[in-house]
Amino acid sequence: MNSSEESAVSAMSAGRSAMRMGPAELVQAAAMARRFYLEGKSKIQIAEEFGVSRFKVARVLETALERDLVRIEIRVPAELDAERSDALRARYGLRHAVVVESPAEDADESPDPENLGEVAAGLLGELVNEGDVLGLAWGRSTIHMAAALDVLPPCTVVQLTGVYDAGTAERGSVEAVRRAAQVSGGEAHPIYAPMLLPDPATAAALRDQTGIARAFEYFDKVTVAAVSIGSWEPGISTVHDMLSDEERAHYASLGVAAEMSAHLFDAEGRRVGRDLGERCITVEADRLRRIPEVVAIAGGQRKAAAIDAVLRSGLVTSLVTDTAAADQLLVAGSPPRPALNRADPDGS
């Protein structure tokens, strides 16, 4: 009998075994399944215990599944969508993608539901290790995330951008940095300055101030960063809301589709309007690209195109979003280059 005939006979035998199992076979299959699935024993260990080959053990375990003696159920919390999460991770070449259920009401209209921050807080608890430097950029979602933090290893926390309005610092990113540092028991390095200044000279002068300069010194040490994403429309983009009508029109003419930490991107993920960065207190794009783990937190159907653009930029390695945005992202145009190659789409 040649090898192909042996394979055919083996397959027929396995098929008959799957169709008919006597009481002794059923009891043995249940015992082997218990050893393998519940007690964590290897197939070799089980084979030695029962005096059979490991191939026999493999066939018995397979038959146990076919005959419904063993049921494997994969369960995650109801608010997490494992299937969309995995599809999104694969499409964009992300290290982590976590998709949560959108709110039942106004799912299409509400950007960044608060439950994104809660889930992102849990993800940071997984990603941050003792001794890391955690960077937090301004954004509603990062503020919600910081408020939800309850466990974080000892780490240094640094602010990556100025604030939307210096008068609201206590309720914004400064407080988020303080909260994260309090939870971790580490040092806090906030930035007491607006994100956007009237001109480059004022921004440069602020960067030289002692407290701000000290925070900037930590930018190259950041190991995990949390950022927000905005689409180029009122109420959805911090930068958009801070600019004059004339400035908004100018940047819109450049094709801006998204902003992140005061960096602007077109639909293909290319940076546009780089002159704006000269007026901003923010981490530079090249420094962001060198951070090992950059987690973007953004959701809602209205932000889907902006999320797609930022993911294409290569600056982000992981994403926390919701089903409303994920459904749009999964039917977007051609898949981009994997985010984890961190290549600059501009080639610079």
Cβ atoms of 203 and 278 within 8 Å: the answer is yes
pLDDT confidence of residue 104: 62
- Specify whether 50 is located in the same domain as 146: no
Non-local (6+) Cβ contacts of 40 within 8 A are none
Torsions phi, psi of 21, nearest 5? -130, 120
* Buried-exposed string 93-110: b where 16+ CB fall within 10 A, e elsewhere: bbbbbbbbbbbeeebeeb
Cβ atoms of 219 and 265 within 8 Å: the answer is no
Return the residue matching tokens 């604030």: 163
Give a yes or no: residue 123 inside a domain: yes
Return the residue matching tokens 């607006």: 194
Torsions phi, psi of 306, nearest 5? -65, -40
Return the residue matching tokens 């905005």: 230
- Specify whether 116 is located in the same domain as 235: yes
For residue 290, give the 3-state DSSP assignment. helix
pLDDT confidence of residue 169: 42
pLDDT confidence of residue 76: 59
Give the domain CATH number at 49.
Answer: 1.10.10.10
Give a yes or no: residue 15 inside a domain: no
- Specify whether 48 is located in the same domain as 180: no
Local confidence pLDDT in tens for the 348 residues of the chain: 444 433 333 333 444 444 466 777 888 888 899 899 889 999 999 999 889 999 999 999 998 888 888 887 666 565 788 889 999 999 999 999 999 988 765 545 556 677 888 899 999 999 999 999 999 998 888 888 999 999 999 999 999 999 875 444 445 778 999 999 999 999 999 999 888 899 999 999 999 999 899 999 999 999 999 999 998 887 777 788 888 889 888 988 999 999 999 999 999 999 999 989 899 999 999 999 999 999 999 999 889 999 999 999 999 999 999 999 999 999 877 777 777 777 777 765
Joined together, the tokens standing for residue 78 give: 């109801």
How many structural domains are present in the chain?
Answer: 2
Contacts 24+ apart (CB under 8 A), 248-256: 251/276, 256/232
Give a yes or no: residue 337 inside a domain: no
Joined together, the tokens standing for residue 42 give: 């290897």
Q: Strands, E, within the chain: which ranges?
A: 96-100, 133-136, 156-159, 188-189, 224-228, 230-231, 258-260, 263-265, 271-272, 293-297, 318-322
Cβ atoms of 346 and 270 within 8 Å: the answer is yes
DSSP state of 102: P
Of 54, 73, 92, the one marking the end of a domain is: 73
Give a yes or no: residue 159 inside a domain: yes
- What domain range includes position 29? 20-73
* Buried-exposed string 202-220: b where 16+ CB fall within 10 A, e elsewhere: ebeebbeeeebeebbebbe
Q: Name the residue among 347, 107, 138 with its Cα closest to residue 239.
A: 138
Cβ atoms of 138 and 228 within 8 Å: the answer is yes
Of 57, 73, 89, the one marking the end of a domain is: 73
pLDDT confidence of residue 165: 59
Predicted TM-score (pTM) of the model is 0.76
- Specify whether 211 is located in the same domain as 241: yes
- Specify whether 28 is located in the same domain as 140: no
Non-local (6+) Cβ contacts of 134 within 8 A are 124, 128, 152, 155, 156, 157, 158, 180, 184, 222, 223, 224, 225, 226
